[in-house]
Amino acid sequence: MHLGSFPQTRLRRLRRTPALRRMVQETVLTVNDFIYPLFVVHGKGVRREVPSMPGVYQLSVDEAVREAEEVAALGIPAVILFGIPAHKDPIGTENFDPEGIIPKAIRAIKQAVPDLVVITDVCMCEYTDHGHCGIVREGEVVNDETLEIYGKVAVTHAQAGADMVAPSGMMDGQVAAIRRALDEAGYAHIPIMAYAAKYASHFYGPFRDAAQSPPQFGDRRGYQMNPANVREALREVALDIAEGADIVMVKPALAYLDVIRAVREAFPVPVAAYNVSGEYAMVKAAAQRGWLDERAVTLEILTAIKRAGADLILTYHAKEVAQWLHNAR
């Protein structure tokens, strides 16, 4: 490639006016890029703000429907649902109960806004009394027994009308198990968005307040990935694609842009990135103190995540950004 040299080449020529800058902009955020997370709780008229996530609420089903209507009106194509059950137990029974919180929310949202894509998180940590993402035996999270439950949960969500499921527990073989369970139940058309490269990150702290899901003993390093690894992420992604993943996710996003880039370059599948709770909380906290310009910084972060190679971004900022993008027109 001939790169040119000064004084023939002056890169500032194409930066001189807003219109010129617009013409050569390489990465453009749109509302189509976003997936908005919702936390659903039992009850009616509940709208409880998560202290570490200003602007994010635990919502009862009726309130979640209102939120979903707002999301759809803003042009955001999808939500991802997380449920907080009425009771927790060792295997998380409410997780695969057709009358559980998530099936209720799916049915209500699909009825109110049929075109909104409803994705569900398939995991166990919100539902288990020990707070781990699988069945625990003698202090260990056991893999293969957990897969059976994931399959049941995914089918329960599909039966309630979910458009896509997103396994996030980081058990080996979870995509294959869920794919098989869905196919056998007649849901071969339901895609899987796999949390493929999910790291054992401290950026999930505020989410665990929102979903009331912190592990009650130990941590998740026995199943989630070591933040120091990138080759391993490529193996996780390759396995998930081989098992039938339709979309693969890297999580978190901001501190893992190199992982997003590596996955983007190695695989021809849609890549999602999760701009997680801690990333959101940092921006909100600094903005509240007047230390950062929230709008500018958020747009810069999300553009960077897309520039790194993400096709889709799960972000708590989705509604605000959708508004900013509309107003900028």
What residues contact residue 48 under an 8 Å CB cut-off, 6+ apart? 41, 57, 58, 59
| Residue 251 appears among annotated catalytic residues | yes
125 near ligand PBG (CB under 6 A): yes
Nearer to ligand PBG, 123 or 153 (CB): 123
Among 199, 207, 223, 256, binds ligand PBG (CB under 6 A): 207
Q: Which stretch binds ligand PBG (CB under 6 A): 109-117, 203-211, 284-292, 298-306?
A: 203-211
CA 96, CA 94: separation in Å to the nearest integer?
Answer: 5
CB of 21 to ligand PBG, least distance (A): 33
What does the alpha-carbon distance between residue 103 and residue 110 come to, in Å, rounded to a whole number? 10
Q: Which region, left, alpha or beta, applies to residue 317 given φ > 0 means left and ψ of -120 to 50 means alpha?
A: alpha
Min CB(133)–ligand PBG separation in Å: 5
| Position 123 contacts ligand PBG (CB under 6 A) | yes
Residue 133 or residue 301: which is nearer to ligand PBG going by CB? 133
Are the C-beta atoms of 150 and 135 separated by less than 8 Å? no
AA letter at 6: F
Please choose, out of 14-22, 92-100, 103-111, 204-212, the segment that lies near ligand PBG by the rule CB under 6 A.
204-212
Least Å distance, CB 268 to ligand PBG, is 25
Q: Which is nearer to ligand PBG, 125 or 158 (CB)?
A: 125
Q: Does residue 277 belong to the site contacting ligand PBG (CB under 6 A)?
A: yes
Residues 6+ apart with CB under 8 A from 10: none
Assigned token pair, 196? 């493929």
Question: Active site residue: 88, 110, 251, 319, which one?
Answer: 251
Member of 47, 180, 208, 295 binding ligand PBG (CB under 6 A): 208
Q: Residue 83 phi/psi, 5° resolution? A: -110, 145
Q: Which residues pair with 198 in a beta bridge?
A: 251
- For this structure, is 110 an active site residue? no
Nearer to ligand PBG, 58 or 168 (CB): 168
Which range of residues in 19-27, 117-125, 149-157, 258-266 is near ligand PBG by CB under 6 A?
117-125
Contact 146, 177 (CB under 8 A): no
Question: Measuring CA to CA, how many Å separate 98 from each of 163, 171, 212?
Answer: 16, 23, 21
- Rounded CA separation 220/225 (Å): 9
Minimum distance of ligand PBG from residue 192's CB (angstroms): 15
**What is the rounded CA–CA span in Å between residue 108 and residue 116?**
12
Q: Which residues bind ligand PBG (CB under 6 A)?
A: 121, 123, 125, 133, 168-169, 204, 207-208, 276-277
Residues that are catalytic: 198, 251
